[in-house]
Structure 1
């Protein structure tokens, strides 16, 4: 056995204790309701088995995988969520690699590659076993929503789809819809959103208490409206499309769009980057954003100028349809548009007006107290 394997064996207990401390510190659910089983014993076991098997180039046995799955099942039975388990699995992988890296020396190159190679191949199998066990522990009513949530998280991270959820993947391309809520969403509501869309086999996962991701194999409007209805509050919505294996960039774009999108209670048209790229640029430029607020304050003098401009631009500056949407006479709309020109010095129907005032309206609706 090489010096690297010896050094790692000597520090198994130390590394296991550090792992438990990291889980407890980093994963909020482990602080409020830690797993019932002994995390330390399992952390020691998995490290010892890693060293034993990687030294001889042997894969995890069926017994090993069953033991790992059993731990996943027990985590589900105490009520720990899919996001918390994904976070734990990510922390575990990072710590295992770091532990090896920290003790490796140039003369350990061969054994370093042996261990890291083993972790790459067997880590995928261990992760799948853990999540499969977790799915078995959630209860019959939650099996499909849990499988779909695991699938959603794999797809948006561009990770391999575990065999036990692969049958749920139905498309080569997906549309990612990100909904940003004005504040934290209760855990019960989060579960209701996941379960409701699972009835139609739509993968959903919450990335944070104020951010949910819907992974749609086609048009997303109906599912987004259903999710917003269940959340019960207006949400900022952003969407982007991409192929399987390239959904992480789509997620990043959709998240950025959702953060500047005006919140809606019943979204009809789902914004993409092309719809809000000006607002995205403004949000990232504080000096420009501060300047734009002067126009927001002018529009706040009313009457109903922000609402009027939103409808006017949403209907491609068609006076008749915009007025109908606002339930006002076209002449009243004309009066309000003249009022916009008077208070801002910009004609809302001009090229400058479209660029400047549409961005002002979007920022006013998306950011609380923007005109203050």
Structure 2
């Protein structure tokens, strides 16, 4: 056996211990884990076992066999029965993969290039199979009433990461395209609320997952009407009970990681609403997205924001005016004021800012200012 394989064998226990320490330090659920739970799921023993077995098989150029995959699935099921959540398991799987590859690279020398390539190639091919087996086992370990919602969470995370989904979708149908709607909230949702929201989407079999305690991702097939998606997002907002900033984007399966980035960027500049009025996309928020990444321009807009907040409800008035495509009657109705009152406020905007709200410059400048003022707390301070 080569020097690289021997060196890795000598460090199996050390690397396994470092892996457990990393999980404990970086995964919040593992930090709070009771000692008896830690003992029951046997993190260290499994970390040692998977490293030794990987080295044996990679050296012999053999794949994981059915017994190996069954054992990995059993560990996944054990973690589910211990009450560990889907996000925590996705995080641990990511950490495990990164650490296994790093362990090989750290010990490889220039003369080990052949064995280095053999090991990395084996980890790439067999790591996907091991991950799928683990997640299949995890879904079997979840209580019967939660199996569907858990599978939908796992499916959502696989789609968003552009990972293979076939091993654990079973009877779930996969669309060719998905609309990703990101729902951001100001304060982290409780575990109970997060579970309730995920379960609410199970009836429609929409993949959904919490990417963070304050960020929800909803995936709807591209052929589902936006009105239906908006209805489900509004239902989620009602369950969350906080103002929600929503951004969306549509993309093809296999390229959803990029789509997720666009939807997330849009949600971060969208004004929070108790009842989202629409699913804003890049076309709706590209100015605000660009401004948010250009501090000098953002600072310049704050001058207009400071002027507007000093007037009589001018920010809300402009928000309704632009949301209703500058239709005076519709905007006044949305604000529950007379159209003449709306006209007075628009004149005040012109007087204060020197910009006509109905002009091309006014639409571009003031709509961006209003959006930033509503989206960023204390923007005009």
CA RMSD of aligned residues (A): 1.2
Distance in 2, matches of 1:203 and 1:166, equals 14
Q: Which residue of 2 aligns with 1:88?
A: 92
Structure 1 residue 162: Cα displacement:
4.1
Asked if residue 346 in structure 1 is aligned to residue 350 in structure 2, the reply is no
Structure 1 residue 316: Cα displacement:
1.1
Change (3 A) 1:248 1:166: farther
Change (3 A) 1:162 1:43: farther
Distance in 2, matches of 1:234 and 1:293, equals 23
Q: Is the 8 A contact 2:287 2:368 kept in 1?
A: yes
Asked if residue 25 in structure 1 is aligned to residue 40 in structure 2, the reply is no
Q: Which residue of 2 aligns with 1:176?
A: 180
Which residue, out of 131, 140, 147, partners 1:143? 147
Q: Which residue of 2 aligns with 1:213?
A: 217
| 1:325-365 deviation digits (Å, cap 9, x = unpaired) | 21211111111111111111111111111111101110111
Distance in 1, matches of 2:200 and 2:16, equals 39
Q: Is the 8 A contact 2:136 2:167 kept in 1?
A: no
Asked if residue 272 in structure 1 is aligned to residue 272 in structure 2, the reply is no
Distance in 2, matches of 1:275 and 1:205, equals 25
Alignment map for 1:89-128 (pairs within 5 Å): 89-128=93-132
Distance in 2, matches of 1:232 and 1:169, equals 31
Matched pairs, number: 372
SS of corresponding position for 2:204: coil
Q: Which residue of 1 aligns with 2:76?
A: 72
Alignment map for 1:323-362 (pairs within 5 Å): 323-362=332-371
Distance in 2, matches of 1:152 and 1:112, equals 33
Q: Is the 8 A contact 2:206 2:218 kept in 1?
A: yes
Distance in 1, matches of 2:288 and 2:119, equals 48
Distance in 2, matches of 1:89 and 1:107, equals 30
| 1:43-68 deviation digits (Å, cap 9, x = unpaired) | 11001100111111222122211111
- Alignment gaps of 5+ in structure 1: none
Distance in 2, matches of 1:211 and 1:164, equals 24
SS of corresponding position for 1:199: helix
Q: Which residue of 2 aligns with 1:6?
A: 6
Structure 1 residue 135: Cα displacement:
0.7
Q: Is the 8 A contact 1:315 1:322 kept in 2?
A: yes
Asked if residue 296 in structure 1 is aligned to residue 300 in structure 2, the reply is no
| TM-score (norm: length of structure 2) | 0.95
Structure 1 residue 109: Cα displacement:
2.0
Structure 1 residue 170: Cα displacement:
2.7
Which residue, out of 155, 161, 168, partners 1:164? 168
Q: Is the 8 A contact 1:151 1:168 kept in 2?
A: no
| 1:86-140 deviation digits (Å, cap 9, x = unpaired) | 1100111111111111111222222222211211111111111111111111110
- Alignment gaps of 5+ in structure 2: none
Q: Is the 8 A contact 1:263 1:366 kept in 2?
A: yes
Which residue, out of 324, 330, 334, partners 1:315? 324
Q: Is the 8 A contact 1:174 1:215 kept in 2?
A: yes
Q: Is the 8 A contact 1:202 1:215 kept in 2?
A: yes
| TM-score (norm: length of structure 1) | 0.97
Distance in 1, matches of 2:217 and 2:368, equals 25
Which residue, out of 260, 275, 289, partners 1:251? 260
Asked if residue 236 in structure 1 is aligned to residue 245 in structure 2, the reply is yes
Q: Is the 8 A contact 2:76 2:137 kept in 1?
A: yes
Distance in 2, matches of 1:105 and 1:328, equals 75
| 1:20-42 deviation digits (Å, cap 9, x = unpaired) | 11111111111011643221111
Q: Is the 8 A contact 2:161 2:256 kept in 1?
A: yes
